[in-house]
Structure 1
Amino acid sequence: MSNDVQEQEVGAEVVTSAGATIDEYLETMRLKFENLCRDLNMDLETESKAFKILKEVLKHYSLEGEILHWFCCALFVACRQSTTPTVGGQNAVVMGNCVPLNNLLRSCQMSIYEFKKKIKLWCDMANMPQTFVLQMEELERKFSITFTIYKKYRDISDQIYSCPPNEKKHSKYSTKCSYIKLDDICWRLFLCAKNQKPTTTLDLVTSYNLMMCCIDLIYANVLAEKRTDLINPKFEGLPPNWNSPDFDETQARNHCILAYFCEMADEAKEMKAGVFRKIMDSFFQTNIVVGNEHTLLDLISNKNYERNLKSLNISYEQYVLSVGELDERILGAYQQDSSEHSNLNEQALRQPVTPLTRKQDLPAQPVMSEQKFEPVANATNNVKELSTAVSHITEPTDFVKQAGEPAIAKMLKIIKEMEEQFLAKFPMRSETHNRFQLAKSLYFYLFDHILRAEIKTKPHIVQKISLDIFNMTLMACCTELVLEAYNTELKFPWILECFSINAFQFHKIIEIVVRHGSHGTHEGCLTRSLVKHLNSIEETCLERLTWTRNSPIWDMIDNASKPLPTWSDVTADKAAGQLQIFLRKVFLLGWLRISKLCSELNLDEKKPDKIWTIFEHSITHKTHLMKDRHLDQIIMCAIYIYIRVTKMEEPKFSDIMRAYRNQPQAVNSVYREVLISVNEHGEYVLKDIIHFYNYTYVPEMKKFCINYLDKSEDNVNLLMSPHPTERTMVPKKLTHNHSLYVTQMSKNEMQQSPGQVVYVIRSSPAKRLDLMNKIVLGSGKRVLDFADTTVNPIDQKRQRLEQ
């Protein structure tokens, strides 16, 4: 078969132009677009830029639905890409072209929910750079955090306040602060406070605590003003004598309701006395609010409340115009009409998806798992679980200290250096010490558990205390877990950049941390969502971060025998090196994703096996295809080349991409921005995955695929490579010091060993359970000795910690 024919048979389809009718279509909508721009008072330069983007998109796509919504997307992108210098200094600029997103949405008759959906599609169609896509994700996440906080705000407000029944009737004649205006003042105080110190609200827990500080302050003002008409008398957090004549301002100022709504009350009180007090002091100094600067009272008095509400509104409007973000004051309208926005919810804060790998190692679902995911409660629970389990540990345990002073001193020196790095790079300076201290406590906890477990089979494990990379990766992993628990905006791999750790070294610590920190053990401190997070970032390392051109994996590959070992080779019962263990994980991940995609594409059960063989060949023989690329790019190409060589009419490449978007790890940059080459200036040339498939992947893989799959050839029946199989569900260990497990068993599996005691629920007699209790409670605790050398030689081959 000639090369030309082969190229034709395996090449991918390319999207073509919409045709000649595009000019007529553009003319019919130009007037509508211009009218919209006049309504928004849009400058001509931005209008021209937006229409140019719109025309370019229309060359390749049909814009379905309300055209005004697509106008909104085009104008928003054009506005975000323009900056306006201000009088604030040389580097002071205004983002968003002074056109608030809310104005755009209002003029285009578009809800926030619709905008969030459409702008993602627009970024894809307009081929926006990844930096802009990340900006949109940040914008969505910020608003989602505020939306989540607002729902909590509404709930708390309903608990502590009561709207006077005749307020609407008499509000226009009243000189007192009404229930509605009180609500507005409190919410605007929070919005201005979080924007005054943006780095103090990088995570969900801190944002919630800041919101509670605002509620607590305004509530103290309501008590001090003796506004009993606004107070809900059923709220259990009321002071005992709140409605008595002798209740004074001092009692109101000293009353605190944080403990009633914050599970992490001490942290909230610390914020109230520190960060929040400084914010309020700055508000008084700049006249954003007026009242008693020392007591922080008199904010809603008859003489001040109108002025403070107006001033807070002006301050917030200036911020929104300067950054081009959503005006979050509009959330107040949602309580009147929640139906339109019922789907908005906290989509950027939804429950973490479950990665495909190691599902069997996840801790059990919480008892109330069927309830709706609640981001604030989840984040608070994660922090609380960690704090309860480890915060009392402030230094290496006595067990670890047996390694000797030199080893411990080296460990602590590494941690101190990492703390300084964290302090220099973590933007929430006021929270730096607290975050790192919790991470350090978790490190000491995990190190103790790892050492106790590993020393049973590896007495030389003590040497690990002195290994820099082991200490660094474990400490980095603990810090990542703390940041995730707080739901911070600093997402992985920020932690690798912070501590200058490469992904290949980091990924090796994750399985160890999951094994010794999960609730699968008796004293596990990691919740199910945190274990999911660890599994997810391990997949991120395996799919792309370890394949960057500066990764140490390439030196290992260069020094390894060629071709690289297959799945069969790396699963043999022998001691494996670092490269073999790495490939074992990559192969398993690749097979799970191939299986998932083939299932989505309705490919029959035989096809995934053959696609797997193509994928495995690319990893073992054409490994350079992975350099600076993504595992999913190679998987999608393997599926499509199989389809083309076997002359299947469907699915198309677009179908594969559509199915890919349903995978938990999917991001559109995987198929939109694929490395093609590196130019002479060291710059990456990126194009879409179809270009990569046609001009890079096919030339490398066509010969193997045609020889392997072409039915006209004699070798059509070549054996398929065996693919990975994930471990089956293992029994869950219920105790820390004893071998007590719960598992599903068939009758012929029972009593397989003489010393085994089995209790079958609803079947075994109660005395069998009593016997098990005596065994568990009666045995003494074994004290491990660092000099213990009674190790099974076979176990010494295991490389869990060395690799």
Structure 2
Amino acid sequence: MSEPDPQELGAEVVSGLVATNDDRLEMINAEYTNLCRDLNMDRQTELQGYETYLEVSQRCSMEGTASHWMCRAIYTACRRTSTPTVTGQNAVVKGNCVSLNNLLRCCKMSIYEFKTKIKQWCDMANLPQEFVNEIEDLDRKFSITFMLHKRFRIIMDMIFSCPPNEKKHSKYISLHGNHAHGKCSYIKLDDICWRLFLCAKNQKPSNTVDLVTSFNLMICCIDLIYNNVLAEKRTDLINPKFEGLPSNWTELDFRHNPHCILSNFCDMTEEAKAMKATTFRQIMSSFFQASTIYGNKDTMLGLLANENFERNLKSLNISYEQYVLSVGEFDERILSAYDAGEHTALNDQSLRPPVTPLTRKQDLPAQPAMAGDKFEPVHNATTNVKQLSAFGRITEPTDFVKQAGEEVIAKLLSIIEEIEQKFLAKYPSTEAKSRFQLAKSFFFYLLDQILQAEIRNKPDIDLKRLLVQKVSLVIFNITLMACCVELVLEAYKTELKFPWVLDCFSISAFEFQKIIEIVVRHGSHEGCLNRSLIKHLNSIEETCLERLAWARNSTVWDMIASAQLPLPTWLMVNLDRAAGALQIFLRKVYLLGWLRIQKLCSELSLCEKTPESIWHIFEHSITHETDLMKDRHLDQNIMCAIYIYIRVKRMEDPKFSDIMRAYRNQPQAVNSVYREVFMDINEDGEPKGKRAAQPKKVTQSHSLFVSQMSKNEIQQSPNQMVYSFCRSPRQAMNEKVRGGKRMLSFGDDPGLGGVVEAKRPHISQVKVVMDDPDLQSAEQQPAVTTEGGVGGEGGEQET
């Protein structure tokens, strides 16, 4: 028997592969089609989703369950469509009327998997940034609701108890409230309270843009349902161990009187009571008027009466469904529909405290006594608000500040008034005025603390002249007030994240980063800023230093353009005692870069001396090839510097993929750093860049980085790696990390001061400074004030 011809055999193999691929494609098509039929999707949206799915599958590796990828393709296709309705002019329904709950159920996908992987899909499918922002906004809102639902469960279990003849929770049974008619059961009670809250917060979404306000609203809903349970004398649903019960609640002749339990669960009791008396009552009145709920509209009782309860639950479900379909948001009833065990991953995510930035990590206040417990976001937020609210009694400048004189104080108040008008015009909530008032109170406190500290450090300076100059400094007041606003927004956990305040008040990141260390230093007194808020300030300072201050339109480039190049090294910015604004900025950038190089090298298990060599490459990129930072991220250049070192040393490991993997474990890591890298500018001089599905952009940036660096930096053999720089900053930098105040200026300082004429110092000089207490304290003290006063030319004040 003759052997088959090799060409024929090869043809059979190829034919078999083609057949296999065709079979696989046919199976995928069938699974996708069946899924769309189950969801009752229209044909056009179905085809759009399938085309995107196939296109992405050809470019990217889709590991894992196929239906999970289909889920993402279907959701994005639906989310990007809208359907006109007959309810009103220009009214539309977003999301193609496909319920996210049904989609997840059909695809057998958990909420956590969906939340994490939908962002990955946005990158893989190269979806427009506008759509990505919508997804992030939806995710943020759902995260707030998830945190609230955890607190909701705890509070409900404290107040109410499940009768022994009822099942406490059962998967899916409560989503639409389709239970047998009759009196209110424990599950239905849980349902109506959660539905009431969801409908209430969506009735006035601008009032519930933050975690704390939403929590107060949720407590008002629970308080109302609790009073209705008492009024109906449903003692079987009451937890007898609840401390807020009236003393005679079990007696037969018990007559219900309004009974407020807000103080039992809310740290911000007065704020919650104010909401109950105003916003919440307005919402409930609108519900009664629209027949969303039935009962006594004056007392707001009778909601759980046998004749009203079932239709109230049904009406709330219908109202909420209409809202979800009209805006295309997550159906948050899903939280009460699943078993608690299915939220394990979401629990871990929500109970994880914010990461700790590397900046001033050693100066953070000690962890609170309850640090051993799991992080509780709602409690953390209300605690932060409570601490800032302690300064609410300060409604005007302090007597100390008023010594500047009436004319100066009038100018200060005029500046604050202008800032307030900008804030009120852009903050999307009726709570805007009260939020700004709290920020203003903290501003007056900080201004007093900062000026008093400056007087203590400069006892020979005329008090009135210093106050006049400082209080009159517009940029100082604006940045300080903006920082106070940012603290209030963070305390309330609003959806307006940094750098929103910079856009709101038209402040450059370069100017804003100057104020942060001052606020941390003086705001830490008396515990007014806790660990959580200080970490937030440190984090946004890093954001300014690593990225925002290097934007193409940043004022830092004007200062660099007028400075003598190359820029000063870290040795020069550490030793100079008449530092200008640019020099201080570089000092902070160098310190941040050194900390991150150390941490990345540790993560990559590189030898002890490696960070020193990598540091020189990084420092050279800042001093000699400064344009490499324009519209880019500090971490991109650090990763490229590490890779250059590895290539020059001809090391087998780590690979570039290992560097990116190690980067993801850094506290400041974000995907955009290695997925979006500025490569060029367009004809109009604007940055042009595009989003990438795979992390190739940093490697492209690496090629650009290499082309800009000198040949001596990147082409030496391992035995010839000789740098024309001083030794690494290991000892001196580590000393700077451990302590020492930096001096900051808000005046019209001359950029680098006199540093560009200074000779390059040797490492031994730095060691002398670090070892000599007199020199070290002098380095930490403000420069001698010139005739121009504080913040004048050539001077640098300590603030």
Q: Aligned equivalents of 1:669 and 1:482: distance in 2?
A: 27
CA deviation after TM superposition for structure 1 residue 575, in Å:
0.9
Structure 2 residue runs of 5 or longer lacking an equivalent are: 1-16, 169-177, 742-772, 775-784
Residue in 2 that maps onto 1:238: 245
State the TM-score, normalized to the length of structure 2: 0.84
**1:498 corresponds to:** 504
What is the CA deviation profile of residues 397-430 of structure 1, one whole-angstrom value per residue up to 9, with x for unaligned ones?
111111111111111111112112111111121x
1:315 equivalent in alignment to 2:322: no
CA shift for structure 1 position 106: 0.6
Instruction: Check whether the contact 2:360–2:737 (CA below 8 A) recurs between aligned residues.
Output: no
Q: Which of residues 480, 490, 501 is equivalent to 1:474? A: 480
Shift of 1:610: 2.0
**Post-superposition offset of 1:712:** 4.2
1:67 and 1:273 map into 2 onto residues whose CA distance is 51
Equivalent of residue 517 in structure 1, options 523, 528, 532: 523
CA distance in 1, matches of 2:197, 2:718: 71
Candidates 674, 685, 690, aligned match of 2:688: 685
The alpha carbon displacement at 1:360 in A equals 1.5
SS at match of 1:456: helix
Q: Could you say what the CA RMSD is over the residues aligned between the two structures, in angstroms?
A: 2.9
Change (3 A) 1:800 1:133: farther
Q: 1:328: Cα distance to partner?
A: 1.6
Please name the residue that 2:261 is paired with: 257
**Given that residues 543 and 630 in structure 1 are in contact (C-alpha distance below 8 angstroms), is that contact kept between their aligned partners in structure 2?**
yes
- Separation (CA, whole Å) in 1 of partners of 2:704 and 2:250: 83
Q: Deviations over 1:229-278 (max 9, x none)?
A: 222232221123333455435x1xx2111111111100000000111111
Residue by residue over 1:669-727, the C-alpha shift from the partner in whole angstroms, topping out at 9 and shown as x without a partner, is 12212222232356642145976556665355347454234344995323554444143
Deviation, 1:309, is 0.4
Instruction: Give the C-alpha shift of residue 605 in structure 1.
Output: 2.4
Paired residue secondary structure (2:109)? coil
Structure 2: distance between partners of 1:172 and 1:75: 31
CA contact (8 A) 1:618 1:701 kept: no
Correspondences of 1:26-65 after superposition (within 5 Å):
26-65=25-64
**2:382–2:492 Cα contact (<8 Å) kept:** yes
What is the rounded CA distance, in whole Å, between the counterparts of 2:238 and 2:704 in structure 1? 74
Q: 1:342 to 1:699 in 2, by over 3 A?
A: closer
CA distance in structure 2 between the aligned counterparts of 1:797 and 1:341, rounded to whole angstroms: 59
User: What secondary structure does 2:237 align onto?
Assistant: coil
Q: Which residue is 2:367 aligned to?
A: 365
Determine which of 589, 595, 598 is the counterpart of 1:595. Answer: 598
Secondary structure of the corresponding residue to residue 455 of structure 1: helix
In structure 1, distance between residues paired with 2:45 and 2:53: 12
Partner SS for 2:83: strand
Q: CA deviation at 1:125?
A: 2.6
Deviation at 1:595, TM superposition (A): 1.9
AA of the residue aligned to 2:432: T
In the alignment, which of 773, 796, 799 is matched to residue 799 of structure 1?
796
Letter in 1 for 2:384: N
User: Where does residue 638 of structure 1 map in the other structure?
Assistant: 641
**2:185 matched to 1:178?**
yes
CA 1:640/1:716 → structure 2, altered by over 3 Å: closer, same or farther?
closer
Asked whether the equivalents of residues 351 and 374 of structure 2 are also in contact (C-alpha less than 8 Å), the reply is no
Deviates more, 1:351-360 or 1:456-465: 456-465
Superposed counterparts of 1:719-734, under 5 Å: 719-724=724-729, 725-726=733-734, 727-729=736-738
Partner of 1:761: none
Contact persistence 1:127–1:672 (CA under 8 A): no
Aligned to 2:493: 487
The whole-number CA distance in structure 2 between the counterparts of 1:573 and 1:644 is 35
Residue in 2 that maps onto 1:112: 111
The residue that corresponds to 1:698 in the other structure is 703
3-state SS in 1 of match to 2:341? coil
CA distance in 2, matches of 1:718, 1:731: 29
* 2:163 is the counterpart of 1:161: no
**Alignment equivalent of 1:386, drawn from 385, 388, 394:** 388
Residue 153 of structure 1 and its aligned partner are, at CA, apart by: 1.4
Identity of aligned residues (%): 65
3-state SS of paired residue (2:236): coil
479-488 or 45-54, which deviates more:
45-54
Aligned equivalents of 2:728, 2:517: Cα separation in 1: 22
Q: Which amino acid aligns with 1:185?
A: I
Partner of 2:678, secondary structure, is strand
Q: Does residue 292 of structure 2 align to residue 288 of structure 1?
A: yes
Q: Which moved more, 1:623-632 or 1:101-110?
A: 623-632
Q: Does 1:131 align with 2:103?
A: no
Aligned mates of 1:596, 1:638 — CA distance in 2:
14
Contact 2:115/2:139, CA 8 A, preserved across alignment: yes
**Greater relative contact order (Cα < 8 A, sep 6+):** 1
Q: Please give the per-residue CA displacement for 1:93-141, whole angstroms capped at 9, x wherever unaligned.
A: 3221211111110110111122223223323333334433333333222
* CA gap 1:568/1:25 in 2 versus in 1, 3 angstroms: farther
The DSSP-based 3-state class of the residue aligned with 1:675 is coil
Contact 2:644 2:714 in 1 (8 A): no
Residue of structure 2 in register with 1:424 after alignment: 425
For 1:393-408, what aligned pairs fall within 5 Å after superposition?
393-408=394-409
CA distance in 2, matches of 1:541, 1:466: 25
Q: What is the alpha-carbon distance in structure 2 between the residues aligned to residue 549 and residue 711 of structure 1?
A: 33
* 1:439/1:479 contact within 8 Å kept: yes
For the residues of structure 2 that align with 1:682 and 1:605, how far apart are their CA atoms? 43
Contact 1:610 1:720 in 2 (8 A): no
Indicate how the Cα distance of structure 1 residues 23 and 605 shifts in structure 2: closer, same or farther if over 3 A, else same: farther
Taking a change above 3 Å as real, the CA distance of residues 393 and 329 of structure 1, as seen in their structure-2 partners, is: same
Q: CA deviation at 1:338?
A: 2.3
| Structure 2 partner of 1:5 | none
Asked whether the 8 Å contact 1:591–1:723 carries over to 2, the reply is: no
Counterpart of 2:369 in structure 1: which amino acid? V
Describe the SS at the equivalent of 1:339. helix
CA distance in 1, matches of 2:143, 2:214: 12
Q: Match for 2:39: what amino acid? A: L
Q: CA deviation at 1:485?
A: 0.8
What CA distance in whole angstroms lies between the structure 1 residues aligned with 2:133 and 2:626? 29
Hey, what does 2:514 align to over in structure 1?
A: 508
How many angstroms apart in 2 are the aligned matches of 1:292 and 1:547? Answer: 60
Cα 1:168/1:609, change in 2 over 3 Å: closer
Change (3 A) 1:100 1:300: same
Matches within 5 A, 1:716-795: 716-724=721-729, 725-726=733-734, 727-729=736-738
Query: Residues 355 and 664 of structure 1 are in contact (CA less than 8 Å); yes or no, is this contact kept in structure 2?
Result: yes
- Specify the SS of the correspondent of 1:344: helix
- Quick one: distance in 1 between partners of 2:421 and 2:717? 65
Q: How many angstroms does 1:454 deviate by?
A: 0.9
Q: Contact 2:479–2:512 at 8 Å: present in 1 too? A: yes
Establish whether residue 85 from structure 1 lines up as the match of residue 92 from structure 2. no
Of 138-147 and 127-136, deviating more is 127-136
Unpaired segments ≥5 residues, structure 1: 1-18, 733-751, 754-787
1:667 to 1:363, Cα distance in 2 relative to 1, 3 A: same
Shift of 1:62: 2.3
Aligned to 2:557: 554
* d(CA) in 1 for partners of 2:181, 2:91: 43
Aligned residues: 718
Q: Which residue of 2 aligns with 1:355?
A: 357
Given the superposition, is the C-alpha separation of residues 111 and 714 from structure 1 closer, same or farther in structure 2, using an over 3 Å criterion?
closer
AA aligned opposite 1:416: E
Q: CA deviation at 1:58?
A: 2.0
Q: Return the offset for 1:653.
A: 2.5
CA–CA distance in structure 2, aligned partners of residues 67 and 564 of structure 1: 53
